């Protein structure tokens, strides 16, 4: 069972909270700060950070789904 | 910040009024207890406790104009409703709670009173400088501003008012640099900001202050149209030149960034310091540690605990919503007081205890949903530098008066202290 991250980019409000929670998994576009997904299938050691990102994203734009 | 702007323009819309006995609905806002200046009003917390006991997290309150919007008392529903697309930030919608009398023809604060997609379009024009990496790149410059102001303080009179000497200058200098506003004009914009965010200002007075600021920033945008630099005002001017933004919209956006950029952080610096001086064991943690993680955690906990945007966020409901067994109708108003969401015991155990070592990152001090504070990465970084520096550089810092003599901003849309006399 692996976990996959989904980012609903049109919903993103560029708060950058995902980058603070999981900098290995998320980054931001230079032109407007909108989130970029760096790792669609992050390793186990990164999942706590991704769960934090899911919890703090103000736009509810991030999901962690089981594959 | 939205509640401030919602009081300056347009006329009151027709609100949906639920039938209810007038005397059963508590007035809002409620006063804080004089002896607990860092805690939300006791009557507000009682409403939350009752809601938790009865399992009905939404309850009616009565505003100054007699309207009775819903008050959302719990963290979970606060987040759910603030992120719900059927909940509107557009103050012209029926049911939108009027927080103070409105004046005709005043200016607004741009996109914080709009819904998507126009909100998103305008917001995305100014989000780039607030990206985490861009903000981190500013950290050394902010550290220098903080160090220099502390040097000046130590070389100047003792005692001194921390608000005037430190708390207001730090974020004012930073936002001026980011926007490209001359800091020499700080008396002008700080004065007009004070009028804007004082909830007892007369409507005409508040509208005039917004106009003053919009006129000033509109002129600066005009200068950048002719002679662009690399600051944020030039970025806005470029959008005006490209026809993506009107000159008026550019000025309103700049007002929002300037006002929100200095006043809120200034309040967190001064009120946070007052709080820490009254919690010496917690202050000692910051004074005796240089661990950036502890400092970052302290910032989150102080944001949670103090929640300075303390008048509740205003929203209008555009479609019926079922939530937690209750029904909210289209055309009804919502007030979301994040200061009690942040004290919800189901989310933050022992919520009334200030505990800098707790994990408070899920707080809603910046709001939630698409309107969540745009400047939060900058505010966080500034507060990390301040809380991580001030008490280590001045370890003997103390209040120069009794806490009972400190003038708290009970009259403000944003909470804080008018002055904080300190000595060392």
Query: Distance (Å) from the C-alpha of residue A52 to the closest C-alpha of chain B?
Result: 9
Is residue B24 over pLDDT 60? yes
Within 8 A of A15 by CB-CB distance, chain B residues are 372-374, 376-377
Query: Distance (Å) from the C-alpha of residue A2 to the closest C-alpha of chain B?
Result: 26
Is residue B106 over pLDDT 90? no
Q: Where are the domains of chain B?
A: 2-423
Within 8 A of B367 by CB-CB distance, chain A residues are 58
Query: Distance (Å) from the C-alpha of residue B274 to the closest C-alpha of chain A?
Result: 28
Per CATH, the number for B2-423 is 1.10.630.10
Confidence of residue B103 (pLDDT cuts 50, 70, 90): low
Q: For the residues B70-91, what does the mean pLDDT come to?
A: 97
Is residue B10 over pLDDT 80? no
B125, B370, B377: residue with CB nearest A16: B377
Is residue A44 over pLDDT 80? yes
pLDDT at B183: 94
Please give the mean pLDDT across all residues of chain A: 95
State the best of A17, A25, A28, A33 to mutate against chain B, taking most chain B CBs within 10 Å: A33
Q: Which residues pair with B27 in a beta bridge?
A: B62
Within 8 A of B133 by CB-CB distance, chain A residues are 19, 28
Q: What is the Cα–Cα distance from B398 to B422, expressed in whole angstroms?
A: 6
A11, A13, A23: residue with CB nearest B372: A13
In 3D space, the residue among B152, B157, B170, B166 whose CA is nearest the CA of residue B400 turns out to be: B157
Q: Which residue of A has its CA nearest to B82?
A: A58
Within 8 A of B124 by CB-CB distance, chain A residues are 14, 32-34
Q: Which residue of A has its CA nearest to B127?
A: A32
B124, B128, B362: residue with CB nearest A30: B128
Is residue B77 over pLDDT 90? yes
Contact assignment for A56 to B362 by CB distance below 8 Å? yes
Within 8 A of A60 by CB-CB distance, chain B residues are 83
State the best of A11, A13, A24 to mutate against chain B, taking most chain B CBs within 10 Å: A13
In 3D space, the residue among B202, B194, B100, B106 whose CA is nearest the CA of residue B412 turns out to be: B194
In 3D space, the residue among B424, B404, B420, B379 whose CA is nearest the CA of residue B166 turns out to be: B420
Query: Distance (Å) from the C-alpha of residue A41 to the closest C-alpha of chain B?
Result: 23
Q: Which residues pair with B316 in a beta bridge?
A: B88, B333
Contact assignment for B369 to A30 by CB distance below 8 Å? no
Is residue B15 over pLDDT 80? no
Contact assignment for B361 to A52 by CB distance below 8 Å? yes
B89 within 8 A of B77, measured Cβ to Cβ: no
In 3D space, the residue among B328, B361, B101, B52 whose CA is nearest the CA of residue B206 turns out to be: B101
Contact assignment for B120 to A28 by CB distance below 8 Å? no
**Residue A3: CB atoms within 10 Å:** 17
Residues 50-109 of B with CB under 8 A from A: 83
The token pair at B335 is 């007030």
Query: Distance (Å) from the C-alpha of residue A33 to the closest C-alpha of chain B?
Result: 5
Q: What is the Cα–Cα distance from B7 to B195, expressed in whole angstroms?
A: 13
Share of chain A above pLDDT 90, in %: 94
Confidence of residue B18 (pLDDT cuts 50, 70, 90): low
What ipTM is given for this predicted complex?
0.94
Q: For the residues B167-175, what does the mean pLDDT come to?
A: 96
pLDDT at A12: 95
Confidence of residue B13 (pLDDT cuts 50, 70, 90): very low
Question: Domains of chain A, with CATH numbers?
Answer: 3-66 (3.30.70.20)
Is residue B301 over pLDDT 70? yes
A11, A28, A55: residue with CB nearest B132: A28
Q: Which residue of B has its CA nearest to A53?
A: B362
B397 within 8 A of B157, measured Cβ to Cβ: no
Spell out the SS3 assignment of B46-73: HHHHHHHHHCCCEEECECCCCCCCEEEC
Within 8 A of B370 by CB-CB distance, chain A residues are 11, 13, 58-59
Q: B86 or B22: which carries more pLDDT confidence? A: B86
Is residue B201 over pLDDT 90? no
A18 within 8 A of A25, measured Cβ to Cβ: yes
Which of B3-12, B82-91, B106-115, B285-294 is predicted with the least confidence, judged by mean pLDDT? B3-12
Q: For strands B333-336 and B70-72, give the pairing.
A: parallel
pLDDT at B163: 97
Confidence of residue B7 (pLDDT cuts 50, 70, 90): very low
Q: What is the Cα–Cα distance from B332 to A6, expressed in whole angstroms?
A: 34
Q: What is the DSSP string of B115-163?
A: -TTHHHHHHHTS-GGGSHHHHHHTHHHHHHHHHHHHHHHHHS-SSEEHI
Q: What would the pLDDT profile of B349-408 be if each residue is shown by its tens digit?
A: 999 999 999 999 999 999 999 999 999 999 999 999 999 999 999 999 999 999 999 999
Task: Give the number of residues written for chain B.
Answer: 424
Confidence of residue B181 (pLDDT cuts 50, 70, 90): very high
């Amino acid at each position: 069972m692996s976990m996959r991250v989904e980012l609903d980019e049109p919903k993103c409000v560029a708060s950058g909270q995902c980058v603070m929670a999981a900098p290995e998994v998320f980054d931001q576009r230079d032109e407007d700060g909108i989130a970029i997904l760096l790792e669609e299938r992050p390793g186990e050691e990164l999942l706590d950070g991704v769960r934090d990102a899911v919890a703090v994203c103000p736009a509810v734009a991030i999901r962690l789904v089981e594959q | 910040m939205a509640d401030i702007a919602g009081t300056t323009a347009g006329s009151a819309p027709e609100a949906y009024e639920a039938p209810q006995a007038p005397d059963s609905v508590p007035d809002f806002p409620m006063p804080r207890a004089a002896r607990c200046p860092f805690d939300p009003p006791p009557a507000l917390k009682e409403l939350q406790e009752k809601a938790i006991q009865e399992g009905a997290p939404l309850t009616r309150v009565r505003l100054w104009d007699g309207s009775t919007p819903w008050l959302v008392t719990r963290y979970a529903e606060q987040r759910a409703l603030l992120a719900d697309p059927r909940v509107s930030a557009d103050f012209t919608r029926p049911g939108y709670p009027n927080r103070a009398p409105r004046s005709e023809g005043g200016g607004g604060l741009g996109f914080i009173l709009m819904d998507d997609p126009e909100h998103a379009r305008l917001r995305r024009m100014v989000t780039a400088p607030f990206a985490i990496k861009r903000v981190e790149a500013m950290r050394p410059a902010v550290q220098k501003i903080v160090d220099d102001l502390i040097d000046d303080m130590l070389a100047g009179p003792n005692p001194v008012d921390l608000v005037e000497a430190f708390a207001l200058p730090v974020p004012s200098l930073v936002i001026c640099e980011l926007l490209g506003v001359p800091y020499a004009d700080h008396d002008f914009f700080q004065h007009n900001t004070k009028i804007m965010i004082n909830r007892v200002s007369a409507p005409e007075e508040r509208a005039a202050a917004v106009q003053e600021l919009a006129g000033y920033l509109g002129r600066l945008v005009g200068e950048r149209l002719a002679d662009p630099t690399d600051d944020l005002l030039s970025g806005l001017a470029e959008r005006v030149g490209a026809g993506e933004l009107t000159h008026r919209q550019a000025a309103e956006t700049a007002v929002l960034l300037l006002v929100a950029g200095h006043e809120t952080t200034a309040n967190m610096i001064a009120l946070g310091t007052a709080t820490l001086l009254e919690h010496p064991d917690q202050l000692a943690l910051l004074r005796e540690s240089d661990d950036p993680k502890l400092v970052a955690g302290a910032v989150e906990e102080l944001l949670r605990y103090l929640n300075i945007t303390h008048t509740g966020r205003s929203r209008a409901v555009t479609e019926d919503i079922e939530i937690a067994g209750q029904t909210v109708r289209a055309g009804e108003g919502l007030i979301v007081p994040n200061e009690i969401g942040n004290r919800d015991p189901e989310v933050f155990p022992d919520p009334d205890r200030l505990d800098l070592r707790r994990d408070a990152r899920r707080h809603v001090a910046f709001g939630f949903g698409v309107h969540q504070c745009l400047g939060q990465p900058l505010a966080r970084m500034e507060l990390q530098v301040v809380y991580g520096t001030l008490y280590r550089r001045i370890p003997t810092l103390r209040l120069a008066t009794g806490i009972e003599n400190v003038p708290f901003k009970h009259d403000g849309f944003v909470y804080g202290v008018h002055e904080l006399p300190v000595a060392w």
